[in-house]
C-alpha cells in the first residue's frame, strides 16, 4: 500500500483512507521504540477505527519502526457520510489517554500539518479537528 507523502506527513493512501502519523517523544531511540510498540498495542486494542502500522523513519535504522501510522478504515468514511465522527473522536481520545497514562508527549502530522504536539487535552482536540477535516476532504466534502 502506498501513501502520498507531503512535507508534513501523509494525506491519504491510494484508497482515499485518512492517514495519521504519530511519533512518540522520548530521550533515547530504545525508549522511543518501546513506547511506540506500547502505543501500537494500546490503540490496536482500543479502536477499530484504524489499521496501524509501525514504519521506520530511516530505512537504514535497526529499530522495528519509531513511526506509528494510523490508516483510518472505510467504515469511518461511511460514518462521516451519515454525519457522525465517533470513531475519529475515540481515536483522538485514545491517543490522549495513552499520553496521560505514560506521561509522554506524542507529535503527530496529518493533512500536511507539520509535527504538532502539546498536552493531552490539546492533542485530543487538535487531532479530532484534523481527522474530521481530512476525512471530509477524502469524501469530497
Mean pLDDT of the chain: 74
Per-residue model confidence as pLDDT tens digits over 115-137:
677 888 888 888 878 777 766 66
Beta bridge partners of 9: 6
Per-residue model confidence as pLDDT tens digits over 40-69:
999 999 887 788 998 877 766 666 667 888
Strands (DSSP E) along the chain, which ranges? Answer: 3-6, 9-13, 19-25, 50-55, 67-72, 105-109
Dihedral angle sign, alpha carbons of residues 98, 99, 103, 107:
positive
Q: What is the domain count for the chain?
A: 1
Q: Where in the sequence is the domain holding 129, given as residue range(s)?
A: 3-138
C-alpha cell at 118: 502539546
Residue-level length of the chain = 141
| Start-to-end CA span in the chain (Å) | 24
| CATH number for the domain harbouring residue 72 | 3.30.70
Share of the chain above pLDDT 90, in %: 16
The answer to whether residues 87 and 99 touch, using CB atoms and an 8 Å cutoff, is no
pLDDT band at 4 (very low <50, low <70, confident <90, very high): very low
Per-residue model confidence as pLDDT tens digits over 61-99:
666 667 888 887 665 555 655 555 677 778 888 999 999
Give the model's pLDDT for residue 57.
Answer: 74
Q: What is the mean pLDDT of residues 11-15?
A: 51
State the residue for C-alpha cell 482500543: 46
Give the model's pLDDT for residue 111.
Answer: 60
Query: What is the edge-to-edge ordering of all strands in the sheet holding 50-55?
Result: 50-55, 67-72, 19-25, 105-109
135 burial class (0-12, 13-18, 19+ CB within 10 angstroms)?
buried
Q: What is the pTM of this model?
A: 0.74
Amino acid at each position: 500500500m502506498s501513501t502520498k507523502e507531503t512535507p508534513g506527513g501523509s494525506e491519504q493512501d491510494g484508497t482515499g483512507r485518512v492517514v495519521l502519523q504519530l511519533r512518540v517523544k522520548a530521550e533515547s531511540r530504545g525508549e522511543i521504540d518501546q513506547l511506540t510498540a506500547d502505543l501500537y498495542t494500546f490503540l490496536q486494542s482500543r479502536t477499530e477505527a484504524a489499521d496501524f502500522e509501525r514504519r521506520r523513519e530511516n530505512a537504514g535504522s535497526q529499530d522495528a519502526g519509531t513511526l506509528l501510522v494510523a490508516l483510518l478504515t472505510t467504515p469511518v468514511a461511511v460514518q462521516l457520510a451519515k454525519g457522525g465522527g465517533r470513531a475519529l473522536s475515540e481515536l483522538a481520545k485514545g491517543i490522549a489517554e495513552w499520553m496521560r497514562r505514560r506521561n509522554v508527549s506524542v507529535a503527530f502530522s496529518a493533512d500536511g500539518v507539520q509535527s504538532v504536539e502539546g498536552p493531552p487535552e490539546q492533542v485530543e482536540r487538535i487531532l479530532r479537528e484534523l481527522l474530521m477535516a481530512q476525512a471530509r476532504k477524502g469524501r469530497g466534502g
